[in-house]
Structure 1
């Protein structure tokens, strides 16, 4: 599994989430508290929005705590919207192309969780990526496949529905291959204007997800686990799709029932 943190609001230093807090993302890379594995040392990455439409992207394969460049960059760069991730591989290689966040055009995307059975179905997942997006498939992770499939399902038009369709495709591929695949995910993704987050698992055991209003009431922090001991962290319920703008946030059920998309949940 992995740990991640995301922010939208008035510009802040990336270090305010990545390195400065008592339980910062760098600390969580080796001392995660709400994760199957406490060590998340298989790479890291940051995607941030500033003066251009597309996000900046900085990723590497080192453990987050051992790369002095990460701390230095995060202490110098301010951003109004950014995603940061520390990775624990669930089977794919430790390489820069497999590090989150992933980016395509103006979109950035990161994932904590896994698709069990993915290795047996990898070819079929790749085939579910539209031809016009397949050249953007640089790595081998289930996370990148989810991102590109969701883009092909209309992420730009309707992010909620695109993720629902992507979940359906995962289930359909598993059924077709007679594999009891389980989809577990907490996602953060953005088009540079809005931050979206999702907590869902087909078996009802989704990874943790929290959010809080920034102290100055000018932004939102969304994380895999709290960065500090403040009492105002709110746990996101399972099966929740969240939308964050600088001044507001909304939550709705991700999936209202198996009949929404005409498929049965994995057991």
Structure 2
């Protein structure tokens, strides 16, 4: 499995989120506490939106995040209002750059922790459901990228929650047709550069961990002595596979079978149910 984080809010230096927290994503690449694997060293990726470009920049590599000097350079010089970061522990597909997250299509980014069970058996049927016009854009061999392109096929650009629900419904149907009892395990982050969606779901209702940060104004009231909280806007929000530290009151577990959206008009959380595709 993998670990990931998504940030939306005041433009910040990537280093402030990726490296500085006591249990940062870089620390988790070696010492994950809640993941299936303690070490996540099968590649990493970051994707971020700049101030004047609609599409995100994406940098991915097959080496471990903890020793990558290029990642340190980027994180120490790039500010962004919305960015993704992912560290990979392969569930069976090759360790190669095209299999590292996040995945990008136009202005959209996607990353995933989890797996499609018995993916090697389901892959052909799932691939045939991808819009033929999109299929040539699939570069790698992961279940995660397949899920992304299925969601795009099912209308991600118009209605992300419904598209992801239809993708999940298809994966479960195809899995059951192949005799897989619990086909899907997922925590997913997806964004168009304006809104950020996070999903937590599994066929077995025992999903991988996912957390969201408490509102900044609430944290300021709880911890008035922490200077870095004064630098963030009230809208700043993190969604993470596991907490970045032990600050009391800072982290909240996303409930099972739930999705949330971080958006300018106010964050929301809803139940998530797969839909027959």
- Pairwise same-fold verdict (TM > 0.5): yes
- Which ranges of structure 2 fall in alignment gaps of 5 or more residues? 217-228
The Cα of 1:10 is off from its aligned counterpart by: 1.2
Find out whether 1:248 has 2:262 as its counterpart.
Answer: no
* 1:1-267 map, 5 Å: 1-50=1-50, 51-212=52-213, 213-214=215-216, 215=229, 216=232, 217-231=234-248, 232-246=250-264, 248-255=266-273, 261=275
Q: How many Å separate the matches in 1 of 2:147 and 2:81?
A: 26
C-alpha spacing 1:262/1:109, structure 2 compared with 1 (3 Å): closer
The Cα of 1:261 is off from its aligned counterpart by: 3.4
The Cα of 1:181 is off from its aligned counterpart by: 4.2
Q: How many Å separate the matches in 2 of 1:251 and 1:10?
A: 21
Q: How many Å separate the matches in 2 of 1:239 and 1:209?
A: 11
The Cα of 1:32 is off from its aligned counterpart by: 0.3
CA contact (8 A) 1:109 1:187 kept: yes
Q: How many Å separate the matches in 2 of 1:36 and 1:172?
A: 26
Could you tell me the TM-score, scaled by structure 1's length?
A: 0.94
After superposition, give the CA deviation of every residue in 1:229-255 in whole Å (9 maximum; x if it has no partner). 112211110111100025631100012
- Which ranges of structure 1 fall in alignment gaps of 5 or more residues? none
Q: How many Å separate the matches in 2 of 1:87 and 1:261?
A: 28
The Cα of 1:203 is off from its aligned counterpart by: 0.3
Aligned residues: 259
Q: How many Å separate the matches in 2 of 1:166 and 1:187?
A: 12
C-alpha spacing 1:182/1:151, structure 2 compared with 1 (3 Å): same
CA contact (8 A) 1:219 1:247 kept: no
Q: How many Å separate the matches in 2 of 1:84 and 1:32?
A: 15
